[in-house]
Amino acid sequence: MYYAVMGLLAAEKKETSKHSGVIALFDRDFVKKGLFTKDFSRWLHAAFDMRQRSDYAAGHTVLIGDAQKLLENAQAFVAEVKAVIDRSFSSPPKVE
């Protein structure tokens, strides 16, 4: 999901060096503007939180059901980001 958002940001010529910055830009520039629903923001935040806890919380265990739900959400997330990127590049350039 993180790299899908990185691709989305790159398509918009935006960048940041931190994971938290990627999430903040996604929320500000895509969710708040209505390009993605708040569900997508929640999924991205949940994935980041699970990653943080898994990497840094000693003894943290991810339940199989939680991992499966995250995978389903991630697949939908990546597919929608891809569709948005495809739409933005398939439309003819604006003539000014």
pTM for the structure as a whole: 0.82
pLDDT for 93: 59
Cβ–Cβ contacts within 10 Å for residue 92, how many?
5
* Amino acid letter for position 91: S
**CA 43 to the chain's CA centroid:** 8
- Assigned CATH topology for domain 2-86: Four Helix Bundle (Hemerythrin (Met), subunit A) (1.20.120)
Total residues found in the chain within this entry: 96
Q: Give Cβ neighbours of residue 25 (< 8 Å, ≥ 6 apart).
A: 5, 9, 14, 16
pLDDT digits (tens, 9 = 90+) for 36-66: 999 999 999 999 999 888 878 778 888 899 9
